[in-house]
């Protein structure tokens, strides 16, 4: 008997599977400025006010689902869902300080973690947000530097930190609003210029987060081309510059960025900001015992900043494990401040918030793997 010959597995007459329709990738809707979203709407025959409506849901009502946008038709919500996601950030951990500030670790889509801090005042909140995962600038006194730069945050990831913190405050039944945002979390904001500027547009838009430009502070380690660009692009913000040293030798030792752009060039870039936009610049100065805190440095600081509309913010050093630096004593910080004030320089001494939970300036570092779900740990009774 002859064996059956096996049949071919796929008959040639079978119709080829239908090719999938080319699909636009699902994008983070919070990467869009109002202008960008309006263009997107217009391209789909929608009126401009539709984008404004969506913006209000995103940034004023903090929606977590397209279906919450009740003044938008079901069909259009469906279209939005097909093209966008809401760019939510998962709260991976929360730590609460004795002074009421709360540090949040947010898990990004790729599992990386960033940190942001919600700080209460009597009448409002100030939030401190991140612009990058880690930082490339390598400042010797800063714990974020130890992470290196892992990546830039997208526009949506930057703004969502503020949205989520506003939502968290609201969840607790707190009706105080976020009145100030400071870019003093992880990262060098001007090293992520384009995403920073789009985020600023959203944060300042009346239909978006709605903050006045005077309520947003961008702190830079002194990336001179970035400062020049802010001036050229007429970006309205409060500028803070981390000076932290009064000679190039001292500053280069602490901040490698100074090897590239020296103090004179940095201060010239500050002086070059056209006068209508040149609000008072804040120079931050970290008080490191025996490094930056000598009283002769206070006098040098006065000479360096002569004629510039500015103020100095003295930051008591926040120690962190493994750092070789020591904080100046509170008495010495006040003495240093007195010298500046006596010479007519406006100078404040920062009260660092959240030190007990490593949420103060330069203490933000994430190395722990992303945990699922919020873990709330009160570190103090």
Residue closer to ligand SAH, measured from CB, 27 or 262? 262
CA distance 367 to 182: 23
358 binds, among ligand SAH, ligand SF4, none (CB under 5 to 8 A by kind): none
CA distance 73 to 66: 11
Asked if 151 contacts 207 with a C-beta cutoff of 8 angstroms, the reply is: no
Q: Which residue is nearest to ligand SAH (CB)?
A: 362
| Residue 219 bridge partners (DSSP) | 240
Pairing verdict, β 113-120 and 124-128: antiparallel
Residue closer to ligand SAH, measured from CB, 220 or 366? 220
Altogether, the residues listed in the chain come to a count of: 381
Asked if 289 contacts 328 with a C-beta cutoff of 8 angstroms, the reply is: yes
Place of tokens 């996601």: 85
Which of 267, 315, 345, 347 touches ligand SAH by CB under 6 A? 315
Residue closer to ligand SAH, measured from CB, 210 or 294? 294
- The phi, psi pair for 218, rounded to 5°, reads -110, 120
145 binds, among ligand SF4, ligand SAH, none (CB under 5 to 8 A by kind): ligand SF4
Asked if 342 contacts 331 with a C-beta cutoff of 8 angstroms, the reply is: no
Judged by CB under 6 A, which stretch of 74-82, 98-106, 162-170, 313-321 contacts ligand SAH?
Answer: 313-321
Residues touching ligand SAH: how many (CB under 6 A)?
A: 16
- Asked if 164 is an active-site residue, the reply is no
CA distance 194 to 201: 11
Longest dimension (CA), the chain: 113
Is there binding between residue 59 and ligand SAH (CB under 6 A)?
no
93 binds, among ligand SAH, ligand SF4, none (CB under 5 to 8 A by kind): none
Residue closer to ligand SF4, measured from CB, 80 or 186? 186
Is there binding between residue 318 and ligand SAH (CB under 6 A)?
yes
| Closest CB 129 distance from ligand SF4, rounded Å | 12
| Residue 34 bridge partners (DSSP) | none
Residue closer to ligand SF4, measured from CB, 34 or 145? 145
Pick the closest to residue 183 from 170, 175, 192 (CA basis).
192
Which of 80, 129, 142, 340 touches ligand SAH by CB under 6 A? 142
- Asked if 115 is an active-site residue, the reply is yes
Binding stretches for ligand SAH (CB under 6 A): 141-142, 184, 188, 219-221, 242, 244, 284, 286, 315, 317-318, 361-362
């Amino acid at each position: 008997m002859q064996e059956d010959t096996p049949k071919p597995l796929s008959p040639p007459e079978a119709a080829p599977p239908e090719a999938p329709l080319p699909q636009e990738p699902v994008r983070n809707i919070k990467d869009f400025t109002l202008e960008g979203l309006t263009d997107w709407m217009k391209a789909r025959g929608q009126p401009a006010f539709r984008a404004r409506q969506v913006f209000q849901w995103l940034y004023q009502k903090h929606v977590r689902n397209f279906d919450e946008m009740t003044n938008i038709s079901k069909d259009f919500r469906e279209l939005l869902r097909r093209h966008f996601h809401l760019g939510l950030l998962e709260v991976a951990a929360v730590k609460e300080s004795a002074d009421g500030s709360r540090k949040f670790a947010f898990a990004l889509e790729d599992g990386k973690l960033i940190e942001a801090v919600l700080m209460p005042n009597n009448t409002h909140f100030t939030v401190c947000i991140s612009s990058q995962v880690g930082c490339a600038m390598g400042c010797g006194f800063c714990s974020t530097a130890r992470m290196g730069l892992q990546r830039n945050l997208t526009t949506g990831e930057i703004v969502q930190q503020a949205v989520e913190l506003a939502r968290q405050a609201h969840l607790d039944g707190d009706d105080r609003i976020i009145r100030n945002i400071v870019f003093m979390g992880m990262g060098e904001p001007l090293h992520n210029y384009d995403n920073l500027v789009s985020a600023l547009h959203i944060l300042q838009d009346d239909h978006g987060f709605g903050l006045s430009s005077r309520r947003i502070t961008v702190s830079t380690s002194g990336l001179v081309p970035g400062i020049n660009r802010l001036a050229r692009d007429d970006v309205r913000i409060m500028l803070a510059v981390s000076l932290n040293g009064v000679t190039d030798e001292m500053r280069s030792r602490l901040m490698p960025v100074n090897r590239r752009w020296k103090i004179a060039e940095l201060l010239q870039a500050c002086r070059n900001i056209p006068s209508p936009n040149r609000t008072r610049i804040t120079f931050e100065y970290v008080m490191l015992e025996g490094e930056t805190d000598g009283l002769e440095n206070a006098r040098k600081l006065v000479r360096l900043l002569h004629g510039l509309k500015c103020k100095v913010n003295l930051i008591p050093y926040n120690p962190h494990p493994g750092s070789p630096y020591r904080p100046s004593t509170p008495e010495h910080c006040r003495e240093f401040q007195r010298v500046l004030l006596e010479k007519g320089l406006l100078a404040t001494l920062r009260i660092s918030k959240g030190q007990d939970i490593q949420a103060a300036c330069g203490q933000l570092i994430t190395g722990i793997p992303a945990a699922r779900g919020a873990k709330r740990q009160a570190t103090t009774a």
